[in-house]
Amino acid sequence: MSAARAENLGPALLGRLPPQIRTPAYDRAALQPGIAHIGVGAFHRCHQAEYTDDLLASRFDRWGLVGINIRPPRLAETLGRQGGLYTRLIRQNDEVDARVIGSIVRVVDSQDSAEPALEVLASPNIEMVTMTVTEKGYCHVPSSGALDVAHPDIVHDLANPGAPRSVPGILARALELRMASRGRPLTLLSCDNIPANGTILGNVVRSLAARRSNGLADWIAANVAFPSAMVDRIAPATTEADIDTVEARFGYRDDAVVVGERFRQWVIENRFAGRVPRWDLVGATFVDDVTPFEHLKMRVLNGAQTTLSYLGVLGSFEHTFEAVADLLLATFVRRMLTEETLPTLMPVPGISPPAYVEQSLVRLANTAIRHRNHQIATDGSQKIVQRLLNPIRDRLAKGDSIALLSVPVAGWMAYLIKASARFGRAWQVSDPFAEKIELIADRVGRDSKGLVEAILAIDAIFHPALAADDTFRANVTIALDGLLSENPMVFVRHVCSEPIDARLKRPA
Ligand code: CS2
């Protein structure tokens, strides 16, 4: 026998929620769709949708959100049942702050065909399209930023431009429909952690448009903006336990709960086409150049997360907060960021980088944010360029040491190698290059030099000039050897007490 199910969150429940739960402070019935968002996952619900909710509360305008999911999970029914409402929990160690967000007007599922997505994106009332489609959603070559024309979805979309599957294909088709209907200008705003995300998004969409002979490329040049943006808030995938927490604490059921930390940041390049939601009035910053903010965030916060995820899995830690609570891993990450990453950063208006490092480490230590190392380790091939390899290239150009930054690069390799059959399938992985690395591991076996040589030859990830750099190869080889050893943490301890390149320089 199961207990009676608690009432589901929905408009009818809004007036009866416990008083500590903040609810939308505007007339939701008057809300009109103005923004479309692709990829309504935990991060979007915790970030852009909250900023938009703030904006609607402070200055009601035409900026309701229509969510589009083109990949699993299906969400239209779950959120539809709740009238678009969901609970956003901020959790900071013991503190819990609950708020119901109302900015999402509706969600459409477009996993089986692009039609529902295209209908929304081409509709005249949409003037802003934001997206969180993960790094690999852009179908670009990570090392160059160019459209990956060999990507199966892009091959498909080039042959079937009217029925696209990829994000670039869907956007190009939507713009074509808008051109045909003489639609309004549109801003396409990437909110993913890829370098110069607006530039890459512009590249991949324009590359497809340039292959059409109907003037689409010219129409895009005159009517579409692709600003870059830096987004930040740690918001892991929602778990059953999060849903249960809401039910236990507040007495209602919400199948679309999201949990995030208190910190949030959104820096957007001031380059728009048409009208813009004034997110700058509610905490976002509009700037001329996002680059310094982006480097700071991806190299420090994301770089630390990625490092802790690989070293964390290798050291048997389940979540980030557990990995960073380990004195050895915390020492390693702090030293890596301070000694090697910080000197690669450009001045960031209003932010002290050393203070940002400390603040990031405190954020990662938040015990109420249960961010699984395996979640962060996912798709590492799409993340290491901006988080680790770009700062490494900057340092190599100046002849600076890369002993510490090479360790998480080898960590990514070790993570995939240890998941291969030849190495005993230590865990399950998800990365577009997992299969390639499994083949390499099977062929090469336990020979770190051979493994590094073969993996660095993957030029979609490693720029050929970087792959050919002797210092880089030597550092990564030593690190991989240590991380594949019986006790990888002994190796990390060793690196902390004696940087790898000190050993490289020592006479044999
Ligand atoms: C994480 C990010 O999964 C990951 O790759 O590093 O989702 C990270 O939590 C966000 O970028 C924080 O803003």
Ligand 1 midpoint to CA 15 (Å): 34
For residue 68, the surrounding DSSP H or E stretch is strand 64-69
Which has the closest alpha carbon to 162: 208, 220, 197, 228? 208
Q: Lowest mean pLDDT: which of 6-15, 264-273, 498-507? A: 498-507
Average pLDDT over residues 494-502: 76
| Dihedral sign from CA coordinates of 23, 57, 133, 259 | negative
Q: Which residues of the chain does CATH 1.10.1040.10 include?
A: 300-504
Counting from 1 in the atom list of ligand 1, the atom nearest the Cα of 193 is 11
How sure is the predictor about 506, in pLDDT bands with cuts at 50, 70 and 90?
low
Q: How many CB atoms neighbour CB 391 within 10 A?
A: 26
CATH 3.40.50.720 domain span(s) along the chain: 11-287
The answer, as to whether pTM is greater than 0.85, is yes
Q: What pLDDT does 504 receive?
A: 65
234 lines ligand 1 (CB under 6 A): yes
Q: pLDDT tier at 507 (50, 70, 90 boundaries)?
A: low
DSSP code at position 264: -
Q: Is the CB of 420 under 6 A from ligand 1?
A: no
Give, for ligand 1, the residue of 45, 305, 373, 386 to mutate: max count of ligand atoms closer than 8 Å to Cβ: 305
Buried b (16+ CB within 10 A) or exposed e, 438-470: bebbeebeeebeebbbbbbebebbbbeebbebe
Distance CA(350)–CA(333), nearest Å, equals 24
Lookup: tokens for 456:
């660095």
For 372, the token pair is 């699984």
Q: Is 233 in the pocket of ligand 1 (CB under 6 A)?
A: yes
Cα 234 to ligand 1 centroid, rounded to whole Å: 6
Determine what percent of the chain falls in helix, strand and coil, rounding each to the nearest 5.
Answer: 50, 15, 40
Taking the CA of residue 305 as reference, the ligand 1 atom at the shortest distance is 6
CATH of 11-287, one of 3.90.226.10, 3.90.920.20, 2.60.40.3950, 3.40.50.720: 3.40.50.720
For residue 383, give the ligand 1 atom closest to its CA: 5
Q: Is the CB of 232 under 6 A from ligand 1?
A: yes
Nearest to 455 by CA among 439, 469, 471: 439
Compute the average pLDDT of residues 409-435. Answer: 98
Taking only the tens place, the pLDDT of each residue in 297-326 is 999 999 999 999 999 999 999 999 999 999
C-alpha to C-alpha distance for 107 and 80, rounded to whole angstroms = 7
360 lines ligand 1 (CB under 6 A): no
Tokens of 144: 């160059």
Establish whether residue 130 lines the binding site of ligand 1, counting it when its CB lies within 6 angstroms of any ligand atom. no
Q: What is the pLDDT of residues 59-110, one digit of tens each?
A: 999 899 999 999 999 999 999 999 999 999 999 988 999 999 999 999 999 9
**C-alpha of residue 288 to centroid of ligand 1, in Å:** 24
CA 441–ligand 1 middle distance (angstroms)? 28
Q: How far is the CA of 349 from the centre of ligand 1 (A)?
A: 23
Q: Contact at 8 Å (CB) between 308 and 333?
A: yes
Residue nearest to atom 8 of ligand 1 (CA): 234
**pLDDT band at residue 497 using 50, 70 and 90 as cut-offs:** confident
pLDDT score, position 501: 62
Condensed to tens digits (0 to 9), the pLDDT of residues 323-351 reads: 999 999 999 999 999 999 999 999 999 99
pLDDT digits (tens, 9 = 90+) for 350-405: 999 999 999 999 999 999 999 999 999 999 999 999 999 999 999 999 999 999 99
Query: Locate tokens 């959120």: which residue?
Result: 79
The fold of 300-504 is N-(1-d-carboxylethyl)-l-norvaline Dehydrogenase; domain 2 (1.10.1040)
